[in-house]
Structure formats: structure tokens, C-alpha cells
Amino acid sequence: MKFNIIELEEVDSTNKYAKDNIEELNNFDVIFTKRQTSGRGRMGRVWEADNKSLAFSIVIKDSKLLNDFESLSIISAAAVFRALSTKCDKVSIKWPNDVYIGSKKVCGILSEGISYDKLVGIIDGIGINVNNSSLPLDTATSLFMETGKEYNIKDILFSVLNNFDDLITKHFNGNNEYLDIINENNYLFGKTAYAEINKQKKLVKIYNVLPNNHLVIEYDGNKKEISTGEISFHLND
């Protein structure tokens, strides 16, 4: 495997560790920890991770990947989808990069860019609830809670990394299998939900993901394509 795994007994956040050490770290170094004491989620949220869950960050420094931020984010979700769907039915991807089982979230991904004068790295942080028997939010679930079985956390790490490698390699050879994976397993497809678009709340119908990674949505009678930064969903409203 082309990944170099750096294992830490305990760390505040694997993303923060990778950011703080970006100069010494190499492309495809992976920061993996058994206990993350102050994990970061999107939009300033916290992400709890103890030894029952998988928390890791992939360091990206390859210039081709740095220029393809949006594909990278969906490819990460597709790799997690592939790893988890061998263990459990009902796994799907909520564009751009959450993974669900049924209607609950099992994996969150936080990709953070690091730039000085220009972008020098992306930290692709992935958190998966694996053997947790309960979780603080009732909108979240774990593999154990869905299947009643416990899993080896490192096996899941290796499976995600192997799938990530496979999908990235195919993508750079012109085969965008990751798009088929998201469109065949798109949690949002066909749903109608409230979403915030450019700070306005709208009721939108959701369709497929396009080759440019944009999502097709319909609101106020028109179909539009939208990029990741432009929309956030309120699925429970």
C-alpha cells in the first residue's frame, strides 16, 4: 500500500496534528489514533472519538490532487461507502461526503486546506462510528448499532485506504467510478428538503451528481446545479 501509517496512542485531533506538522509530513501519510480527545467536525462542531470509533487523517500534498479538491472529497466518501457496504446493507452517501446507514449518519469527513501563499496541503479527516453501543446524537449510528457485530477497527482503516487508492488511481486514468458509486447510492436522490442556498432557505428537490461533482437540484420551478460550498441541507426540518 502506498500509505504510511503514523499511529498515535492519543491526540487532540488527527486533523490538527497533520496541520501542525504539515511541513514534515509527506503525501499519503495517514495519522491514525485510538483516542481523539478534541476531534473537529464541520461548521465548528465537535466529533467524539474513543477507542470504539475510527479517526484518521490522510495528508494530501500531490499537486494533481490539490487541484481537484471536490473530487477528492466525494472519492473519500465513496471509499468509505465501499468499505462499509461489505459489512452492512442500507449504506448510502449524502453528497458531498457524509456516509449514512438508513437515515442516520455513520461517517463524517472534514477536508481542510492548508495554504500559505498557495495551497500546500489538504488534510482529509475521516471519522467512522464502528463499535459504539450508543452515541450522543440520535441522528447518528454505528456499524455495531446496525449489525450487532463488533469489527476490527484497523481492518476498516485498511479497507477505506485501499478503496481510496483504487478510486483515485482510476480517476486519474479517466475512469470516474466514484461518480457511479455516489449516483447509485445517493441518500439525497429524489428527496425534497429545506436547504440554505446563498443564505436563503428554500424547499428543494434533489437529483443526481454531475461529472463536475455538482449536485442537480430544483427549486422555484427551475433546475440548477450547485457546488459544495453553496448549499447546506436541513434534512430534519
Least CB distance to ligand BTN at residue 220 (A): 29
C-alpha cell recorded at residue 63 = 499537486
47: contact with ligand BTN by CB under 6 A: yes
Cα–Cα distance, 151 to 175 (Å, whole number):
31
Cα–Cα distance, 100 to 226 (Å, whole number):
21
Least CB distance to ligand BTN at residue 168 (A): 19
Q: Which residues of 124-154 are buried (b: 16+ CB within 10 A; e: fewer)?
A: bbbbbbbbbeebeeeebbbbbbbeeeebebe
Q: Determine the angle formed by the axes of helices 177-184 and 153-172, rounding to 10 degrees.
A: 120
- The alpha helices in 37-140, defined as continuous H runs, are 63-66, 69-85
Taking CB under 6 A as the binding criterion, the range among 39-47, 67-75, 144-152, 179-187 that sits at the site for ligand BTN is 39-47
| Contact residue for ligand BTN among 3, 34, 57, 80 (CB under 6 A) | 57
Hey, which residues between 58 and 87 contact ligand BTN (CB under 6 A)?
none
127: contact with ligand BTN by CB under 6 A: yes
15: contact with ligand BTN by CB under 6 A: yes
Answer whether 20's CB lies under 8 Å from 98's CB. no
Taking CB under 6 A as the binding criterion, the range among 69-77, 83-91, 104-112, 138-146 that sits at the site for ligand BTN is 104-112
Q: Which single residue brings its beta carbon nearest to ligand BTN?
A: 108
Whichever of 45 and 223 has its CB closer to ligand BTN, that residue is 45
Taking CB under 6 A as the binding criterion, the range among 60-68, 76-84, 125-133, 181-189 that sits at the site for ligand BTN is 125-133
Whichever of 94 and 214 has its CB closer to ligand BTN, that residue is 94
Q: Determine the angle formed by the axes of helices 69-85 and 153-172, rounding to 10 degrees.
A: 130
93: contact with ligand BTN by CB under 6 A: no
| Contact residue for ligand BTN among 8, 22, 35, 41 (CB under 6 A) | 41
Quickly list DSSP for 16-62. HHHHHTTTT--TTEEEEEEEEEEEE-GGG-EEEE-TTEEEEEEEE--
| Contact residue for ligand BTN among 42, 87, 90, 224 (CB under 6 A) | 42
14: contact with ligand BTN by CB under 6 A: yes
List strands edge to edge, sheet with 215-219.
Answer: 222-226, 215-219, 200-209, 192-197, 231-234
| Contact residue for ligand BTN among 3, 13, 82, 111 (CB under 6 A) | 13
Answer whether 111's CB lies under 8 Å from 123's CB. yes
Residues interacting with ligand BTN, by CB under 6 A? 13-15, 39-42, 45, 47, 49, 55-57, 98, 108-110, 125-127
